[in-house]
Amino acid sequence: MDRDRMVEVGVALVSRFGAKALSLTSVARHAGVARATAYRMFGGREALVSAIVSHERERLRVELTGWAADEPDVAERVRKRVIGSLGYIRDHQALQYVLRNEPEEVVRSLVTVEGAGGPSLIDLIVDSAMEDITDDETAVIHPNPRAGIEYMVRTVYSCMLVPSSSMSDEEIADMVVRAVIR
């Protein structure tokens, strides 16, 4: 069994039992491999969680690219990515389980704590998005590409944490476009 398959099993377990219940032993059992194999692959729970976050971040990156791949207009690209991200979050079973039952786990990953030693999830997503930014996007995202992308990510995650809104996804996306495109 390869490492990617173990990560997928880990995501599936989070969808059913939450992040707090995730362990290498449970991943090994559900994947049908020896516990020692799981420990050889990951070394510990933290490495498994890190691998899951990396896997999910890459999945999101692929989706972000795909949602607007054929769109020539930068503003419409941003709009499609915001709308896609909001839907993606709502449809993500593991994330929804954790939001409903263990919201502190999500908040902990989003908040940057001084001296914590690592970037927040927001920083990681912004870094991923920066890898794929195009020249035409760089030219019009305000006040600068990194800040504009960070604003988009923060807006989407605030909608994730407080999903009820008087605004539709389209209205939220339109407001983000007006805020970051010049």
Q: Which residues are CB-neighbours of 36 under 8 A, at least 6 positions away?
A: none
Is-contact 25 38, C-beta < 8 A?
Answer: yes
pLDDT band at 53 (very low <50, low <70, confident <90, very high): confident
Is-contact 45 23, C-beta < 8 A?
Answer: yes
pLDDT of residue 114: 60
pLDDT of residue 98: 92
User: At residue 117, does pLDDT exceed 70?
Assistant: no
Is-contact 6 27, C-beta < 8 A?
Answer: yes
DSSP 144: -
Dihedral sign computed on CA atoms, order 139, 142, 143, 145 = negative
User: At residue 108, does pLDDT exceed 90?
Assistant: no
Judged by DSSP in three states, 20 sits in coil
Q: Helix and strand tally (H, E) in the chain?
A: 11, 0
pLDDT of residue 115: 61
d(CA 24, CA 42): 8
pTM, full prediction: 0.89
pLDDT of residue 85: 96
In this predicted model, which residue has the larger pLDDT, 113 or 93? 93
Question: Over the stretch 5-24, which tens digit does the pLDDT of each residue have?
Answer: 999 999 999 999 999 999 99
Q: How far is C-alpha 57 from the geometric centre of its chain's CA atoms?
A: 5
d(CA 180, CA 152): 8
| CA-based nearest residue to 73, from 172, 177, 156 | 177
DSSP 58: H
Average pLDDT, the chain: 91
pLDDT of residue 109: 80
Q: Which residues are CB-neighbours of 149 under 8 A, at least 6 positions away?
A: 126, 129, 130, 133, 141
User: At residue 149, does pLDDT exceed 80?
Assistant: yes
Rg (CA), the chain: 18
**CA torsion 145→149→154→157, rounded to 10°?**
-170
